[in-house]
Structures are given as structure tokens and as C-alpha cells.
Amino acid sequence: MLRIVGVERHIDATQEFILLQNQGTMRLNLRGHGVVSDEVLDVSGAAPGLFFFGEDVFIPSGGYVFLATGPTEARWQRTRDGANIYRTSMQRTQAIWHHFPGTMHVLQVQHSFCEKPAITV
């Protein structure tokens, strides 16, 4: 279960981030999870306050995800206290969460479906 454990809103995109943690007992695939501002749910068309992870990366139980707003390279890193953290970015040049000061949500993957290729004989 991916949870938001910290948010740093800032007018500068390079200083803004969201920190998430896998608080479940199993590793989870980051792909398909999303972060959304509550204001986006109230106002249709406010796409900047919505982000979905596209990386096919597994986050271990207790592992962290550091989602920066500004451009950066996606990579695994160790924190000073030895925790694993996956650093990724929205690749935006302007601050996002600074403009959405309210409640934020993590959208979890509920189900995935993939058609099997047709077998030809």
C-alpha cells in the first residue's frame, strides 16, 4: 500500500516533491499508481494536479518513492539512514503542487487486464 508520508510545496519546481512509502507487507509495482490533488476531483480539466507513474519498478516493503516535480533522472538511491529510495520526476519546469494546497490522494492500481495473443496453428 503506497502512502504519502511527506509533501514539500514550493514555488520553484526544483524544490518541490512528494515522498511516498510502501507501507504494505509485499513489494508493489509502481506502474499505474497516481497522485492527484483533491481540487482536480472537484474541477474537471485541471490536469496539472494529476500524475501517473509509468516506471515498471518494484518498490520493496518499507521502501520509499521520491517524486520530484522538476526534471531529474530516475534512479535507486540509499538515504543517510540506509533506507532504499526510488527517485523519479514529473519532468516539469513549473511548480505543480504549490498551486494545489489542499488534500492529496494516491490512486492505487485495482486491476490490470491484458489480452492474450491469438494462437495461430
Within a domain: 97:
yes
Distance between CA atoms of 6 and 87, rounded to whole angstroms? Answer: 14
Q: What is the mean pLDDT of residues 18-26?
A: 94
Q: Write the CATH number for 77.
A: 2.60.40
Do 23 and 106 form a contact (C-beta atoms < 8 A)? no
Q: Predicted confidence band at 29 (pLDDT cuts at 50, 70, 90)? A: very high
Torsion of CA 105, 25, 28, 38, to 10 degrees: 0
**What is residue 43's predicted lDDT score, i.e. its pLDDT?**
64
Strand 17-22, strand 2-8: pairing: antiparallel
Nine-digit cell at 25? 507487507
Q: Determine the straight-line distance between the first and last CA of the chain, rounded to whole angstroms.
A: 43
Q: How many domains does the chain have?
A: 1
User: Has residue 19 got a pLDDT over 60?
Assistant: yes
Least confident window among 1-5, 87-91, 113-117: 113-117
Q: For residue 57, what are the domain limits?
A: 2-107
Q: State what percent of residues in the chain have pLDDT above 70.
A: 95
Compute the C-alpha angle 101/104/106, nearest 5°.
160
pTM value is: 0.84
Q: Predicted confidence band at 14 (pLDDT cuts at 50, 70, 90)? A: very high
Strand 64-68, strand 84-89: pairing: parallel
Within a domain: 114:
no
Nine-digit cell at 76? 535507486
